[in-house]
Structure 1
Amino acid sequence: MPSKLITYDLKKIHSLTKIRAGETKFGEKTEVLNSGGDLEEQLQASGARFVLFGIPEDIGVMGNHGQPGTRYAWEAALKAILNMQHNAFTKGSKVLVLGHLDFSDSLKSIEGLSGEERILKCRSITEGIDKEVTDLVRKIVSSGKKPIIIGGGHNNAYGNIKGSSLALGLGINVLNIDAHTDFRKRESRHSGNGFSWAYYEGFLDKYFMFGIHENYTSKKIFKKIDQEDRIAYNTFEELFIRREKGLEFEINESINFVKGGKFGLEVDMDAIAYMPSSAHSPCGLSLETVRQMVFNASRSKNATYLHLCEAAPDPDNPKEMALTGKALAYLVSDFIRK
């Protein structure tokens, strides 16, 4: 198994699931691995269509001069997911809960660092995170399953894209619901350039950015993406401020742009208004709009994975943890919904 992967057993799952008489919770029906068994063999043998795992880290975010906190999203999400109802619409039996990639040692290694030294260390560690994510996603996609990845910064899009591409033997498309392009200069690895690296290296074929904010996209990046035939986007201001484009039409256009080939669905939670995230904003998409997009995209047979990233709830605020976890759980349920 990947060196950083910590797998979960039924004891772990049931400890987080609140059992109630007369109900069946999602966590009571999800699959887990047998400890000590071969990962790839068990993935192949599993009857689940989706494989859920977490990446509790914020190293890539800090390497991009961002605020830490994305390491806490997985904990919040897992509790909320396991405590959804198992029913005809949200079937726990569709999901294998794998576990999480553990980068706690790496997080400890940057404690006490500051300034440029901290930034450079975070970027170096992010390259190692890329390798772990790539390897795990490759194995899941190769087994015919669809990964659902939660937590960490948007740096992990690179590993999702590369792992899927290597498993499928072709460049994949991506629909990214995001306030930012994350198509910045390929200087070294961090949360702001996962897509530019994947595009440059041939793992990312077509790329659609939905709802980027004009206020936080540089002139240089607009010039770059406007020159690329395989890149398309709309802006939040086009959709909701100037109302130059219709929302329903643009949702369909964005999905149609990528669904001709295998594609990944990336959701940066900072695209949602008031969502606790690494770049939270009072202005953004509604959770309902993002839920609709995730559901519509998941209808395509070419939908390959779902990545929910950049959520950064305060671990000392139980209400914020619960609300963030529930938002993430809704999006997971929409991806697997009948």
Structure 2
Amino acid sequence: MQKPSFLKVYDLKKIHEQIKIRSGETKLGEKFQFLDPEGDFEEQLENSDSKYVLFGIEEDIGVIGNHGVAGARNAWKAALPSILNLQYNDYIKGKKVLLLGHMDFDELYHQLSGLEGEERTEKAREITNFVDKQIVIVVNRIVSAGKIPIVIGGGHNNAYGNIKGASLALGKPVNALNFDAHTDFRKRESRHSGNGFSYAWYEGFLQRYFIFGLHENYTPKKVFKKLLKENNIAFNTFEEISVRQEKGLEYQISEGIDFVKSNSFGLEIDLDAISDMPSSAMTPSGFDLNVARNLVFKASRSKNIAWLHICEGLPGEEGSTDFIKVGKAIALLVADFLRK
């Protein structure tokens, strides 16, 4: 089978110059596995002894369709050098990671050229629906090969592709634990970054859904009512954890994981939920990065973890402080997912 459309498959030559080789040290990128870009895609995936498949998504069209701030398409570029240059040691090993490459949707952006207002929004939503199908194919192939996808970058619209792709591969609905300031459970008015979970839910691909750290100030009353009506949807809020301190953080993390871990589940990390993290909806009041790291580490211990997705990072210009900050934050979260 040929590689899926829009997927650029890497080999060591592609990324070698981004690895900072130092005498006496081994970097994670030196230990990654790769596919032969010219070989049979599906056969190589199945024959690899890797446990994880790492790839990026260079896309923020779903964010544009949700009236958000664009820029998440650059998060993979920011994250990759930081991931490659993590130390390979007894705490984190890279031999079981296959670095697949990234999904490049640059050619779709010309369809938005010259459009403004609602016309631009509607076109972005139409394109997002097309992007969904491409993400589903890649995630489905990875999960079908018995691997765990680590998906970096793009808008949170791509949660839909992760959920559907994994569900189809496993032949059953899956669960999701979403570390997020927002539900992304908005009405199904056409696809964008704010309704990936609601589409997956109503189409039967998502069985149980937990939102960790929902912001009370930015969630409409009708959304809370909708969530509370569903037995298979649960949440906690940032305010009850960090402002009112009604329940301990450790308890809340365990509660979230326990809600989804009886079935195959994915972990969705929206960088919007982290305080002062450059993202498409940056907040001055959110969780410390270490809370996200702790959640990622603990969720990764579950035998039913099916994927990790880190999204909505807004790194800005290459070499800028924000670029470095977003890249390092994503690399730390990936390291915690792989940590022994």
User: Aligning the two structures, in what range does the TM-score lie when normalised by the shorter sequence?
Assistant: over 0.9
Match of 2:210 in 1: 208
2-structure distance, mates of 1:294, 1:26? 19
1-structure distance, mates of 2:323, 2:243? 31
SS at match of 1:205: strand
Unaligned runs of 5+ in 2: none
Q: What amino acid is aligned across from residue 142 of structure 2 in structure 1?
A: I
TM-score by length of 1: 0.99
2-structure distance, mates of 1:173, 1:282? 30
Match of 2:243 in 1: 241
Q: Is the 8 A contact 1:57 1:107 kept in 2?
A: no
Q: Is the 8 A contact 1:182 1:192 kept in 2?
A: yes
Match of 2:302 in 1: 300
1-structure distance, mates of 2:160, 2:142? 16
Q: What amino acid is aligned across from residue 322 of structure 2 in structure 1?
A: E
Q: What amino acid is aligned across from residue 155 of structure 1 in structure 2?
A: N
TM-score by length of 2: 0.98
Answering whether residue 147 of structure 2 is matched by residue 145 of structure 1, we say yes
**CA shift for structure 1 position 259:** 0.3
2-structure distance, mates of 1:289, 1:119? 34
2-structure distance, mates of 1:74, 1:161? 20
**CA shift for structure 1 position 16:** 1.2
Q: What amino acid is aligned across from residue 323 of structure 1 in structure 2?
A: K
Match of 1:199 in 2: 201
**CA shift for structure 1 position 323:** 1.4
**CA shift for structure 1 position 92:** 1.6
**CA shift for structure 1 position 336:** 1.0
Answering whether residue 316 of structure 2 is matched by residue 324 of structure 1, we say no
Match of 2:18 in 1: 16
Q: What amino acid is aligned across from residue 275 of structure 2 in structure 1?
A: A
**CA shift for structure 1 position 220:** 1.0
Unaligned runs of 5+ in 1: none
Q: What amino acid is aligned across from residue 136 of structure 2 in structure 1?
A: T
Q: What amino acid is aligned across from residue 306 of structure 1 in structure 2?
A: L
Q: What amino acid is aligned across from residue 172 of structure 1 in structure 2?
A: V
Q: What amino acid is aligned across from residue 243 of structure 2 in structure 1?
A: I
Match of 1:57 in 2: 59
SS at match of 1:305: strand
Q: Is the 8 A contact 2:262 2:304 kept in 1?
A: yes
Match of 1:111 in 2: 113
Q: 1:321 to 1:244 in 2, by over 3 A?
A: same
Q: Could you report, residue by residue, the CA deviation over 1:3-61 in whole angstroms, capped at 9, with x for unpaired residues?
A: 11110111112021111111111111101111211111111111211000011111000
**CA shift for structure 1 position 316:** 4.7
Q: Is the 8 A contact 2:78 2:318 kept in 1?
A: no
2-structure distance, mates of 1:148, 1:134? 14
Q: What amino acid is aligned across from residue 27 of structure 1 in structure 2?
A: G
Q: Is the 8 A contact 1:56 1:71 kept in 2?
A: yes
1-structure distance, mates of 2:86, 2:143? 25
1-structure distance, mates of 2:50, 2:87? 17
Match of 1:264 in 2: 266
Answering whether residue 127 of structure 2 is matched by residue 125 of structure 1, we say yes
Match of 1:291 in 2: 293
Q: Is the 8 A contact 1:51 1:96 kept in 2?
A: yes
Match of 1:165 in 2: 167
2-structure distance, mates of 1:39, 1:259? 30
Moved beyond 4 Å, runs of 4+: none
Q: Could you report, residue by residue, the CA deviation over 1:151-198 in whole angstroms, capped at 9, with x for unpaired residues?
A: 000000000000000000000000000000000000100000000000
1-structure distance, mates of 2:48, 2:85? 22
1-structure distance, mates of 2:300, 2:184? 23
**CA shift for structure 1 position 109:** 2.2
Match of 2:228 in 1: 226
Aligned-residue RMSD, C-alpha: 0.8
Q: 1:124 to 1:183 in 2, by over 3 A?
A: same
Q: Could you report, residue by residue, the CA deviation over 1:198-239 in whole angstroms, capped at 9, with x for unpaired residues?
A: 000000000000001011101111110010000000000111
SS at match of 1:55: strand
SS at match of 2:127: helix
2-structure distance, mates of 1:37, 1:12? 16
1-structure distance, mates of 2:171, 2:17? 39
Q: What amino acid is aligned across from residue 65 of structure 1 in structure 2?
A: H
State the identity as a percent.
Answer: 61
**CA shift for structure 1 position 317:** 4.9
SS at match of 1:308: strand
